[in-house]
């Protein structure tokens, strides 16, 4: 028995396990403790590539192969974290070109951990000796299987929040469909659709109270028929846009096959002016190309909005301040002589959210001092949503605003890195709020205006 044990120990590829398997994936494994995405496909692929590469005599070739697997691992991790299409490498490039990750302490820590582990692996792994026997291969495979099981269990409670595509046979649901606004109504009322970045369904007494205070305002019922609900989400922000604007689970690269089915196209054909507002780069995810295809007659991105006086809000995704755009939309509605279909995709609540006076998130106290200090990222997220809700409220209740319907809906679950923040939201769904203008409110408002004028 002792001889067999000694033989196994002699064949145990310890250096390979350390430098080819564990250290290259150390940064991803650390995320187990805070709730990172499942990495089973990548761990399996990099392990098999590592087993084969470790047997190659050339140190240079080993290093090239290891660098390639490390590069693919980080590509996969970023894509899954942001619900991007893994099969289309181009989907990542706009993200890397536009974001400013060094503004976020969370990204800096992650980057340092990744660079340190990758540097150690690239230095040591190419010098690991080749496997000495079939037993070494078997042990390497068994250790890999153990790593896969560890990842499976570590990511079990957050796995559903990284779903990019619906399961086969999933029935479609959208807030625009549930509220019946996919086609214009006979009275040609204005329509404003607002998709809110990282807007999730809260769970827990404290976060539900904060949410309800913003999105269940009793005075809305004096002018609108108010309804609320949840819809499933799959994928990233663009997937949420196509869910609500085009009535399907799809990707923007496929827009050309269903342009006539999209809500803006229908409203445009019905005589509406169709306008899209988004405070980020026009080229990000090619929105300047596919927005016109789905029926937007004009689009106002960061460059135009800032030229019109909208302030810049800093952040990892720096762009126009969401809180100032509802006032611009209200002015467009009040000054137009034809029916309007206006779409507003928010930006500033893209995670992580910085502590920044210009963003309005410095020293966040929402929810109480103790809670805010214990949950800084949650506090900032809810604070920015609160700012947005206040401005939507001001627009919707403006006595001079012409009859307008509003739909506010989330794009996707708040994609926090850590599970302690993710657990505050219901997985797999986003909220929606509909404000449908009541015709009988017009007379009351007219009386109020006359009374005010006297």
Q: Which of 214, 249, 246, 210 is nearest to 228 (CA)?
A: 214
Query: What's the pLDDT at 2?
Result: 52
Decide if 405 contacts 192 (C-beta within 8 A).
Answer: yes
Give the C-alpha separation, 296 to 264, whole Å.
6
User: What mean pLDDT comes out for the span 363-371?
Assistant: 90
Query: What's the pLDDT at 195?
Result: 98
Q: Measured between alpha carbons, how far is residue 59 from residues 15, 54, 126, 130, 181 in Å?
A: 15, 9, 5, 11, 62
Query: What's the pLDDT at 297?
Result: 97
Q: Measured between alpha carbons, how far is residue 118 from residues 35, 73, 144, 250 in Å?
A: 21, 11, 19, 35
Q: Which two tokens stand for residue 275?
A: 């306008």
Of residues 366 and 8, more confidently modeled: 366
The string of DSSP letters for 338-361 reads S-EEEEEE--TTPSS----TTTT-
In which band, very low, low, confident or very high, does the pLDDT at 38 lie, cut at 50, 70 and 90?
confident
Q: Measured between alpha carbons, how far is residue 336 from residues 122, 234, 273, 329 in Å?
A: 62, 36, 9, 11
Q: Which two tokens stand for residue 100?
A: 């400013």
Q: Taking the CB of residue 351, how many other CB atoms lie within 10 A of it?
A: 21
pLDDT greater than 90 at residue 35:
no
Over residues 53-92, the pLDDT tens digits come to 999 999 999 999 999 999 999 888 877 776 666 666 666 6
Q: Which two tokens stand for residue 132?
A: 């000495």
Q: What angle do CA 150, 153, 156 make, to 5 degrees?
A: 145
pLDDT greater than 50 at residue 223:
yes
- For CA atoms 156, 158, 163, 164, the dihedral sign is negative
Window from 164-168, 266-270, 306-310 with minimum mean pLDDT: 164-168
Over residues 274-327, the pLDDT tens digits come to 999 999 999 888 899 999 999 999 999 999 999 999 999 987 788 999 999 999
pLDDT greater than 50 at residue 21:
yes
The mean of the pLDDT values for the chain is 88
Give the C-alpha separation, 293 to 59, whole Å.
51
Query: What's the pLDDT at 433?
Result: 98
Q: Which two tokens stand for residue 311?
A: 């302030």
Over residues 404-437, the pLDDT tens digits come to 999 999 999 897 877 788 889 998 899 999 999 9
Query: What's the pLDDT at 449?
Result: 40
Query: What's the pLDDT at 164?
Result: 65
- Write a three-state SS string for 108-120: HHHHHHHHHHHHH
Cα of 398 vs its chain's centroid, Å:
31
pLDDT greater than 80 at residue 446:
no
pLDDT greater than 50 at residue 450:
no
Q: Which of 6, 144, 33 is nearest to 420 (CA)?
A: 33
Over residues 203-217, the pLDDT tens digits come to 999 999 999 999 999
Decide if 425 contacts 200 (C-beta within 8 A).
Answer: yes
The percentage of residues in the chain with a pLDDT greater than 70, rounded to a whole number, is 87
pLDDT greater than 60 at residue 123:
yes
Q: In this structure, are strands 273-278 and 298-300 parallel, antiparallel, or unpaired? A: parallel
CA torsion angle for 142, 144, 146, 152 (degrees, to 10)? Answer: -140
Q: DSSP code of 312? A: E
Rounded to two decimals, what is the model's pTM?
0.81
Query: What's the pLDDT at 393?
Result: 98
Query: What's the pLDDT at 454?
Result: 33
In which band, very low, low, confident or very high, does the pLDDT at 452 lie, cut at 50, 70 and 90?
very low
Query: What's the pLDDT at 160?
Result: 61
Give the C-alpha separation, 389 to 394, whole Å.
9
User: What mean pLDDT comes out for the span 442-446?
Assistant: 49
């Amino acid at each position: 028995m002792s001889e067999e044990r000694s033989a196994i120990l002699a064949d145990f590829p310890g250096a390979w396990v350390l430098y080819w398997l564990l250290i290259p994936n150390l940064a991803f494994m650390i995320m187990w403790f805070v709730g990172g995405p499942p990495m089973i496909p990548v761990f399996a692929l990099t392990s098999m590539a590592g087993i084969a590469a470790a047997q190659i005599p050339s140190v240079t070739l080993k290093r090239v192969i290891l660098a390639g697997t490390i590069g693919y691992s980080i590509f996969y991790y970023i894509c899954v974290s942001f619900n991007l299409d893994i099969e289309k490498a181009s989907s990542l490039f706009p993200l890397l070109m536009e974001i400013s990750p060094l503004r976020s302490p969370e990204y800096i820590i992650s980057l340092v951990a990744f660079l340190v582990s990758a540097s150690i692996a690239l230095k040591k792994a190419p010098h690991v000796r080749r496997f000495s026997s079939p037993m070494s291969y078997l042990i390497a495979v068994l250790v890999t299987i153990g790593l896969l099981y560890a990842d499976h269990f570590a990511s079990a409670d957050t796995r559903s929040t990284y779903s990019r595509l619906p399961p086969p046979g999933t029935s479609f649901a959208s807030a625009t469909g549930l509220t019946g606004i996919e086609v214009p109504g006979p009275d040609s009322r204005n329509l404003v659709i607002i998709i809110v970045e990282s807007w999730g369904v809260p769970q827990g007494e404290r976060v539900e109270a904060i949410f309800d205070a913003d999105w269940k305002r009793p005075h809305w019922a004096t002018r609108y028929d108010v309804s609320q609900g949840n819809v499933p989400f799959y994928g990233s922000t663009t997937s949420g846009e196509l869910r609500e604007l085009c009535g399907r689970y799809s990707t923007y690269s496929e827009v050309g096959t269903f342009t006539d089915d999209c809500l803006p196209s229908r409203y445009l054909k019905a005589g509406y002016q169709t306008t899209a507002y988004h405070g980020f780069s026009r080229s990000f995810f090619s929105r300047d190309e596919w927005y016109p295809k789905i029926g937007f007659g004009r689009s106002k991105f960061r460059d135009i909005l800032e030229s019109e006086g909208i302030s810049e809000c800093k952040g990892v995704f720096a762009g126009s301040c969401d809180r100032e755009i509802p006032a611009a939309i209200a002015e467009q509605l009040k000054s137009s002589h034809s029916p309007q279909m206006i779409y507003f995709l928010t930006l500033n609540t893209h995670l992580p959210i910085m502590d920044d006076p210009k963003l309005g998130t410095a020293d966040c106290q929402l929810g109480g001092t103790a809670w805010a200090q214990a949950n800084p990222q949650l506090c900032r997220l809810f604070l920015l949503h609160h700012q947005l809700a206040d401005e939507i409220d001001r627009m919707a209740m403006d006595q001079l605003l012409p009859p307008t319907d509003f739909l506010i809906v989330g794009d996707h679950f708040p994609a926090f890195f850590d599970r302690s923040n993710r657990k505050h939201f219901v997985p797999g769904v986003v909220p929606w709020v509909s404000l449908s203008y009541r015709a009988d409110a017009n007379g009351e408002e007219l009386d109020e205006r006359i009374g005010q004028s006297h």
